[in-house]
Amino acid sequence: MTIIFMLLALVVLGGASTRWFATALLIGVISGTYSSIAVAIPLMLLTKRKKNDENRKSN
């Protein structure tokens, strides 16, 4: 979260070249965070479901 605030400050207060670089980094951080969450949650649910199925079969 702090990196987003820092990058926003660079976009707003930075010079021309710094502004474009910070914008590219900000887009990368936001898209990377979103994709990590979008991938991690289904994998977590799948793993949890498999563990529950294995526990039911063994009991």
Domain spans, the chain: 1-53
pLDDT at residue 58 in the model: 77
Taking only the tens place, the pLDDT of each residue in 32-57 is 999 999 999 999 999 999 988 888 88
Picking from 6, 41, 44, 42, the residue whose alpha carbon sits closest to that of residue 25 is 6
Q: Are 7 and 22 in contact (CB under 8 A)?
A: yes
**Which percentage of the chain shows pLDDT scores above 70?**
98
Identify the pLDDT of residue 45: 94
CA distance 7 to 19: 9
